[in-house]
Structure 1
Amino acid sequence: MQWNELIRDVTAISRGPISAENAISEITITGIEYDSRRVGARSVFVAMRGGTTDGNLYIDTAIRQGAAGIVTDSPEAFAQLAADDPKTPRLLVEHGRPALAQLASAFFEHPERKLRATGVTGTNGKTTTAFLIESLLNAAARSSILVGTIEYHVAGEVRPSAHTTPESRDLFELMADGANRGATELVMEVSSHALDQGRVTGIGFDVAVFTNLTRDHLDYHGTMEQYFAAKRLLFDGTKYPFPRVAVLNAGDPYFPALAQAAAKASSQVVTYGVGIHADWRADDVRLTPAGAEFSLASPFGSTRIKSGLAGEVNVLNLLAALAAANARDVPFDQLANAIPTLKPVPGRFQPVDAGQPFTAIVDYAHTDDALRNLTALAHQLIAGTQGRVITLFGCGGDRDRTKRPKMGQAAGEGSDFVVVTSDNPRSEDPEAIIAEILPGLAATGTRYIVEADRTRAIALALTEATPGDVVLLAGKGHEKEQILRRGTIFFDDAEVALSALRALGYGGGR
């Protein structure tokens, strides 16, 4: 692909001249890059301004490394390039990220046209819902691409996940690879950051799912109103094409506003909920340690469901997935038959079993709402017994500080005993983070201890447990590392817990 062909559909403010001297029209472009460190001979560098850095500072580096053309969102950088290196083809755009998406789409031969996309957004439940949607599509013999927090799936191949929603260049490459392998479906978690920053530009979502909205990411968005406004972008047609079908949680406080926005944009609104009026509804829900049973009602049929996914929150996630897969033309009977085959998602209410007489669970819950859901589920497991709920958690550093006392309060109100520890402190002092957690926890009157070292804290939580208790190791879930001021170390809550259980004299495995 040559320069003129590549930039044909890019919305530009100004274009640098192409002369016979540089003969760019005869050069085959080898890649599109937004990271100057990845620029190679004959690739195009997209220099864009970001929240923490400005790619325009690295234009000279990209040219030294062989960039065949520069796309920039800085008028100053564009003018400087024209003065210093007039032979290098250049393009000035208003915003770098939309241009990156347009370029990537063209370079990777428009994989979005070969796929039907389902996007899942919300504070909690995105990962589980996306996994379930993909599983239901696969059960209907659809080949898929999954893009999410835990991992990526590309037509059956599992790959590590770098970001919940990657930059558009990487996303289009992933989509192209999957489409070339026969994938026809794209299922992805769509974060509020990605929506706000334009990382999903160029992808027309056929189905969009909203799980819920609770307090999170206010270090980035500032207010709940701005956080909701970012989520709404997936549905309202103002920044992205509106979805054909909007699948919405009818029990969430933000549902009315979101339903109104989706309907105004001409999407078909499909609702789901537990024990409330909704298109896809669960009634007579019976929760057990092994999962859940409920009566499923939908516009396409009704049946009694037995699911291996524990807790009411997973009933909601399953309803969302069923509605979304049905919107992607999977018949009701096929969906119902597939439910018994669905498996829990790694790091989401994941049991750690070494033969101990109590339950140990690893979960990703890292907001106050998620902690409340998690402890409520634990109480469902011990209902009618003398068992206790023991919760271990911490809060991430360099993130929204206002949620720290709220998480302390949520843990205290939902637990019989709490162990406060580190999560990913990043550049912050773990003790300082814990100090901001404790006022909310102390106000509940629940007994607690503090141990900043997460390995020792996990051992303390498990040592505290007696037969019939439930120990919740919350916050990190599937993560395999801990980010500290001194650097990143390998850390797997499930592995650490298993080692601690063995040290306590229990055997067996997960």
Structure 2
Amino acid sequence: MLWSDLIAELTAVGSSGSSSQPITGVEYDSRRVRPGSVFVAMKGGTTDGNRYVDKAIAAGALGIITDSSRTFDHLVVYKSEIPVVEVEHGRRALAEASAAFFGHPERKIAATGITGTNGKTTTAFLTEALLNAAARKTVLIGTIEYHVAGEIRHSVHTTPESRDVFELLAEGAARGATELVTEVSSHGLDQGRNFGIPFDVAVFTNLTRDHLDYHVTMEKYFAAKRLLFDGTVYPAPRVAVLNAHDERTLDLIEAARGGGSSICTYGIGIGDFRATSHKLTPGGATIQLETPVGSAQLNSHLAGDVNVLNLLAAFTSAHARGVAFDELVDAVPHLKPVPGRFQPVDAGQPFTVIVDYAHTDDALRNLTALARQLVAANDGRIITLFGCGGDRDRTKRPKMGYAAGEGSDLVIATSDNPRSEDPRAILAEIEPALKATGTHYTIEPDRAAAIHLALNSAQPNDVVLIAGKGHEREQILADRTVPFDDAEVALAALRDLGYGKES
């Protein structure tokens, strides 16, 4: 691809110079620039890429795309040998340039985007699995990991920059992938990281309090989610799949219809795709499903009401992507739980240990409610371990304290990812709410010690919930990031307590 081919696909407000050299890449990080790269210098949330234009040029950048008129003028005057384009919106230009450079893979792959506070990851994994069961190759982009036509890769961001999405799509398309399933975060929507991806199906799971350190208010948080459906910034989806239980769904129905979308709702007892009845079992759930296209009994290995909803969202989404009803029914019994989402840790102990990503008060309530169902028959207790992340929304700390205290018989409050904050200061904001519930609790800032304490406190038939980090493999401290896997730490602690050892 040549410079003239690339800039023909940009929405530019000014340009200067040209080049006959072939473009070797499109980059937004000056550290990744190589000879022949085009560098997109754009303003971001924490830094301004225009500050690194000289570094990109020194690294061999063939040309510059900038969203700063000051940078444009500087380059035109002092570096006339460097072709430069000025654009109004840097992230939109990044998407346009990346789509062009990677050969427009978004035209070969149909996208399903999933947004919401809770349930995105599980719904994405289940949707992909249902599409795979119908012999469709997929690209998955989400919190835990990325998948490219069956190859598993490390996840860098829940919603990567558009350049990285287009690269993944291009690789997937080259391997025969026809479907993209991606989590869509509110940050990504607000910042424009989803430019250039026409979502065929868009899914809304729910909206509860989270990320107010970024969005400030719930209305702004919801407004970011709404962008996936209303057609004002991104194209409205062909089909909007919406949780019939959430109070925000009525707004989304109006917004999506205004953008020309078809609407399909799901829920327990309500919605187009609905569980008219369901029975939770130790191994999952049996669901009676009613839909506009058929009825069936589903046998799922995913436990809890929340996973009934996640399964319904995935089932509805895959059907919207054209998978036959009967194929979906046949695939459900083969679906597996998602890593870090109600993940059991078993060393032969006489009590249940669960690792879960629950990191909001709503997610904690769902988690403890499910645990209460598990212990109801044998009079066991619920022991909940949780913390709150540092440098994040402080207002949810007491809310999580109340949720854990109200749903548990014993709570161990500990560190999550404290980041730059003092763990004890975070715990001090949690403790008054815990105390107000009247539930027995202990404060232990050291997460490994807290896990050991929770497991040592457990008795036969109890359920120990280790909440907050789920699939994460690291803990972020003020001065370093250390390896930390809740499941591995719990398993080691169980062995220290004498479980799982050969006799």
The answer to whether the aligner puts 1:477 opposite 2:482 as a matched pair is no
Q: Deviations over 1:152-171 (max 9, x none)?
A: 01001000100001000011
What are the residue-to-residue correspondences of 1:491-502 with 2, within 5 Å? 491-502=484-495
The answer (yes or no) to whether the contact 1:346–1:478 under 8 Å persists in 2 is yes
Question: Match for residue 269 of structure 2?
Answer: 275
What are the residue-to-residue correspondences of 1:81-480 with 2, within 5 Å? 81-276=75-270, 278-480=271-473
The answer to whether the aligner puts 1:38 opposite 2:32 as a matched pair is yes
Alignment-mate amino acid for residue 155 of structure 2: S
Q: C-alpha distance in 2, partners of 1:293/1:462?
A: 31
Alignment-mate amino acid for residue 296 of structure 1: L
Secondary structure of the equivalent of 1:120? strand
Q: C-alpha distance in 2, partners of 1:163/1:66?
A: 27
The answer (yes or no) to whether the contact 1:71–1:93 under 8 Å persists in 2 is yes
Alignment-mate amino acid for residue 327 of structure 2: Q
Alignment-mate amino acid for residue 290 of structure 1: G
Q: C-alpha distance in 1, partners of 2:293/2:411?
A: 45
The alpha carbon displacement at 1:362 in A equals: 0.2
Identity of aligned residues (%): 69
The answer (yes or no) to whether the contact 1:465–1:471 under 8 Å persists in 2 is yes
The alpha carbon displacement at 1:497 in A equals: 0.1
The answer (yes or no) to whether the contact 2:405–2:437 under 8 Å persists in 1 is yes
The answer (yes or no) to whether the contact 1:353–1:508 under 8 Å persists in 2 is no
The answer (yes or no) to whether the contact 1:351–1:362 under 8 Å persists in 2 is yes
The answer (yes or no) to whether the contact 2:413–2:445 under 8 Å persists in 1 is yes
The answer (yes or no) to whether the contact 1:391–1:472 under 8 Å persists in 2 is yes
The alpha carbon displacement at 1:284 in A equals: 2.0
Q: C-alpha distance in 2, partners of 1:241/1:284?
A: 36
Secondary structure of the equivalent of 2:190? helix
Question: Match for residue 6 of structure 2?
Answer: 6
Q: C-alpha distance in 1, partners of 2:434/2:425?
A: 15
Alignment-mate amino acid for residue 310 of structure 1: A
Q: C-alpha distance in 1, partners of 2:451/2:377?
A: 26
Q: C-alpha distance in 2, partners of 1:302/1:433?
A: 49
Unpaired stretches in structure 2, ≥5 consecutive residues? none
Aligned length: 502
Alignment-mate amino acid for residue 118 of structure 1: T
Alignment-mate amino acid for residue 448 of structure 2: T
The alpha carbon displacement at 1:289 in A equals: 2.0
Secondary structure of the equivalent of 1:336? helix
Secondary structure of the equivalent of 1:233? helix
Q: C-alpha distance in 2, partners of 1:453/1:84?
A: 55
Q: C-alpha distance in 2, partners of 1:231/1:508?
A: 48
The answer (yes or no) to whether the contact 2:412–2:444 under 8 Å persists in 1 is yes
Q: C-alpha distance in 2, partners of 1:310/1:419?
A: 24
Q: C-alpha distance in 1, partners of 2:24/2:458?
A: 58
Alignment-mate amino acid for residue 13 of structure 2: I
The answer (yes or no) to whether the contact 2:126–2:335 under 8 Å persists in 1 is yes
Q: Deviations over 1:135-168 (max 9, x none)?
A: 0000000011000000001001000100001000
The alpha carbon displacement at 1:17 in A equals: 2.8
Question: Match for residue 77 of structure 1?
Answer: 71
Q: C-alpha distance in 2, partners of 1:226/1:333?
A: 40
Alignment-mate amino acid for residue 8 of structure 1: A
Q: C-alpha distance in 2, partners of 1:445/1:420?
A: 14
Alignment-mate amino acid for residue 473 of structure 2: K
The answer (yes or no) to whether the contact 1:35–1:55 under 8 Å persists in 2 is yes
Q: C-alpha distance in 1, partners of 2:69/2:398?
A: 45
After superposition, the Cα gap between the structure-2 partners of 1:97 and 1:508, relative to the gap in structure 1 and judged at 3 Å, is farther
Unpaired stretches in structure 1, ≥5 consecutive residues? 19-23
The alpha carbon displacement at 1:260 in A equals: 1.0
What are the residue-to-residue correspondences of 1:28-67 with 2, within 5 Å? 28-67=22-61
Question: Match for residue 21 of structure 1?
Answer: none
Question: Match for residue 506 of structure 1?
Answer: 499
Q: Provide the TM-score with structure 1 as the length reference.
A: 0.98
Q: C-alpha distance in 2, partners of 1:508/1:172?
A: 48
Alignment-mate amino acid for residue 349 of structure 2: Q
Q: C-alpha distance in 1, partners of 2:159/2:277?
A: 36
Q: C-alpha distance in 2, partners of 1:275/1:387?
A: 30
Alignment-mate amino acid for residue 128 of structure 1: T
Secondary structure of the equivalent of 2:100? helix
Q: C-alpha distance in 1, partners of 2:408/2:246?
A: 24
**Shift >3 Å, 4+ stretches:** none
The answer (yes or no) to whether the contact 1:105–1:111 under 8 Å persists in 2 is yes
Q: C-alpha distance in 1, partners of 2:435/2:247?
A: 29
The answer (yes or no) to whether the contact 2:413–2:442 under 8 Å persists in 1 is yes
The answer (yes or no) to whether the contact 1:288–1:380 under 8 Å persists in 2 is no
Alignment-mate amino acid for residue 87 of structure 1: E
The answer (yes or no) to whether the contact 2:268–2:277 under 8 Å persists in 1 is no
The alpha carbon displacement at 1:508 in A equals: 6.2
Secondary structure of the equivalent of 1:314? helix
The answer (yes or no) to whether the contact 1:355–1:508 under 8 Å persists in 2 is no
